[in-house]
Amino acid sequence: MVRRTRPALTLLCWGYQVTTHSEVSGPVSGAESRATSPGRPATSDDRLLAALLDGMEAALFAVDPSGRVTHWNRKAERMLGWTREQAVGRTGLGGWAVREADAADVMDRLLAALRPPTGGGRPFQEFPLLRKDGGRVLVRANATAMRDPDGRPTGVYCAFGEAHAQLDLERNLALSEALLGDCDTWATVLVDADLRTVAVNDAAAEALGVTPVDMLGEPLGEFFGAGLDELESGLEQALAGQPPAGPVELWLTLLDDDSRDDDRFGDPAPAGGPPGGPRRCLTSGFLRLGSPAAPEPAPLGVAWVFQDVTRARRHAQGAARQRFRDGQLSRAARAAADCEDPLDAAMLQLHYALAGFADHALLDTASSRAAGAANAAHVGHLVRIAESPGTFGAAPAARGVVVRYRQGHPALQALERGMPVRATGGVSRSTWAVEHRWPKDAEHALCVVLRSRGRSLGVLTFLRGASRRPFDRSDAAYGEDVALRVAAAIDLHGLAGGGGGAR
């Protein structure tokens, strides 16, 4: 059996191409013959085309070369109020869909699509249409010519929408392109509902030390260590429709960044600290992305927009820390001035120095049995004359007892070299503190030599637990300031006849 039907009908509108089923002359298979039997009616091209037009999100109508309206879909009905029965069959748009004064111009612009194109693309046009209630609406339209198999024009399809809505859509698209493409100020990362990365702009990739391709499709846990819980919490709140009320500061540790000894701000990566690379402070905002096409906006994901403010926050923290330490030194000096015994003044200095700085402080002076500081360092004889209580819970060592440090001990190194020595035990060395005759919970140490009148009088040791960061250069400078004041008090105590050891 052979059947002949009309050739395929192709519809172009809003960037989409829809082609109805094409049926060409030729033999028909048995299955197709059964599908077109009287018991199984086939769907005609007209009904399929009508279903396609009614299901479109764009308002659409069509006119033939004479200007008679041949199609009018449901979206056009909802936008203008004219039903399909009222619109189809009318000649021209004047007097009902367009004002009489504008009818000729609008129809000429529509039928211009039948002429051969003079430039590339299908330009948009804007003109006013009339609603059934008499109101006017400015629309942005795209006219496309319809042609028969021989290339003769058969009509024009016009897809249109409210101009303001189209402009809003274009602005939104332009904003998305700007944030994901050309924006150097704000870093942007888009994640889906499963918190997997779907887009990363260049600023975000640079701030996180990755390439945009590396993050696509990957969970955020592949790139962040400490601080990941706070980041995921903010993203989940945004997905639930309750994003944080304002920008939040997240301190995140980047993974796979520990190959660099120094971060890009010139600060050394903390040795012996938590695993991963240097920490970043990111001022972050979270924007929920919903689908405007859904009856109820469905979450498409979250836009995480942030700025790297690590440098500014570190400078602010350093300035605040320095102000506090200067205040502590000033208060300690005023309190020590009221002490009759210089050794009491030295102990006061230790108590004031510990606040916000260390968990424990040990004051050891060179043994009076040693011929000099160098000899004391050689034989390892230091006398414990004071220690400031800390959070370790260990019993205080007896004062006046010689502490026999082993050769190479950080305290002896500081005494021998005349300069601060920093040491870190590390998580894997559980007996590190005990081997150094320090409280067992000590993890980080700073040993500073006590100098006064050109002599080394002993060593001042500051200790921190595992929950605190290691001592850095600024900590060593502050420890030296404290050691100068303590050494002056100990030297004065010796001049007053108290000796260099215990009272």
Decide if 469 is inside a domain: yes
Q: Are 502 and 383 in contact (CB under 8 A)?
A: yes
Do 277 and 225 belong together in one domain? yes
Co-location of 189 and 156 in the same domain: no
Q: Which phi and psi angles does 424 have, rounded to 5°?
A: -135, 135
Indicate the DSSP class of residue 68.
B
- The values of phi and psi at residue 98, to 5°, are -140, 145
Question: Which pLDDT value is given to residue 429?
Answer: 64
Phi/psi class of residue 418: alpha, beta or left (left: φ > 0; alpha: ψ in -120 to 50)? Answer: left
- Torsion over CA: 101, 103, 108, 113 (sign): positive
* Domain finish residue from 277, 308, 339: 308
6 within 8 A of 30, measured Cβ to Cβ? no
Task: Determine the number of helices (DSSP H) and then strands (DSSP E) in the chain.
Answer: 15, 18
User: Distance between CA atoms of 220 and 306, rounded to whole angstroms?
Assistant: 15
CB-based contact 331:340 (threshold 8 Å) = no
> Are residue 125 and residue 272 in the same domain, yes or no?
no
Task: Examine residue 108 and state whether it is found in any structural domain, yes or no.
Answer: yes
Q: Which of 349, 345, 385 is nearest to 365 (CA)?
A: 385
Q: What local confidence, expressed as pLDDT, does residue 448 receive?
A: 93
Asked, for residue 477, whether it belongs to a domain, the answer is yes
* Residue 80 shares a structural domain with residue 212: no
pLDDT of amino acid 169: 65
List Cα–Cα distances, 238 to 177, 194, 204, 290, 320, in angstroms.
22, 13, 19, 11, 33
Judge whether 115 lies within some domain: yes
Separation between Cα atoms, residue 381 and residue 376, nearest integer Å? 5
In the chain, the number of structural domains is 3
Nearest CA-CA partner of 281 in 319, 309, 318: 309
Domain ends where: 138, 167, 196?
167
Alpha carbon distance 393, 258 (integer Å)? 34
Q: Which pLDDT does position 466 carry in this prediction?
A: 82
On whether the CB atoms of residues 460 and 482 are closer than 8 A, the answer is yes
- The three-class DSSP label of residue 178 is helix
Residue 178 inside a domain? The answer is no
- Report the length, in residues, of the chain: 503
The answer to whether position 422 is within a domain reads yes
Nearest-angstrom CA–CA distance, 252 and 259: 17
User: What are the angstrom distances between the C-alpha of 192 and each of 196, 224, 252?
Assistant: 6, 17, 20
DSSP H or E segment with residue 15: none
Query: By the 8 A CB rule, do 159 and 13 touch?
Result: yes
> Is-contact 113 143, C-beta < 8 A?
yes
Structure tokens at 318: 């350093």
Task: Quote the strand ranges of 49-135, DSSP E.
Answer: 59-63, 69-72, 125-130
Q: What is the pLDDT along the chain (503 residues), one digit of tens a residue?
A: 444 434 444 444 444 444 443 333 333 344 444 444 444 444 566 677 667 766 667 788 989 888 899 888 888 888 889 998 988 989 988 889 889 888 888 888 888 888 876 655 556 788 888 888 888 888 888 888 888 888 888 889 888 888 776 666 667 666 676 677 766 678 888 888 888 888 888 777 877 777 777 778 788 888 888 888 888 888 888 887 778 888 888 888 887 644 333 443 344 444 333 334 577 888 888 878 776 655 565 677 888 888 888 888 888 888 888 898 888 888 888 888 888 888 888 888 888 888 888 888 888 888 654 434 444 444 457 888 878 774 433 444 456 678 888 888 888 988 888 889 998 886 556 688 888 888 888 888 899 999 888 888 899 999 988 888 888 898 889 888 888 888 888 888 877 766 544 33
Q: Which helix (H) or strand (E) holds 441?
A: none
- Residues 149 and 272 grouped into a single domain: no
Q: For residues 44 and 53, give the distance between their C-alpha atoms in angstroms, rounded to a whole number.
A: 14
Same domain, 208 and 284: yes
What HEC string does 280-292 produce?
A: EEEEEEEEEEECC
Model pTM above 0.85? no
Indicate the residue among 308, 342, 369 that finishes a domain: 308
* SS3 state of residue 31: helix
Do 350 and 464 lie in one domain? The reply is yes
The CA radius of gyration of the chain, in Å to the nearest whole number, is 41
DSSP symbol at 114:
G
Distance of CA 114 to the CA centre of its chain: 51
Instruction: Give me the amino acid identity at 383.
Output: V
Q: Is 278 helix (H, G, I), strand (E, B) or coil?
A: coil
In which domain, by residue range, is 211 found?
A: 183-308
Q: Please, what's the largest Cα pairwise distance for the chain?
A: 127
**Same domain assignment for residues 162 and 198:** no
In the numeric block, which tokens belong to residue 86? 């009222």
Neighbours of 395 (CB within 10 A): 7
Separation of alpha carbons 503 and 501, rounded Å = 7
256 and 111, same domain (yes or no): no
Q: What is the CATH number of the domain that holds 274?
A: 3.30.450.20
How much is the pLDDT for 465? 85
Looking at the fold, whether 188 and 163 belong to one and the same domain comes out as: no
- Same domain for 358 and 450, yes or no, is yes
For residue 490, what is the domain's CATH number?
3.30.450.40
- Please state at what angle helix 310-336 crosses helix 473-493, rounded to 10 degrees: 10
Q: Is residue 303 part of a domain?
A: yes
Residues 212 and 293 in one domain: yes
Residue 489: inside a domain, yes or no? yes
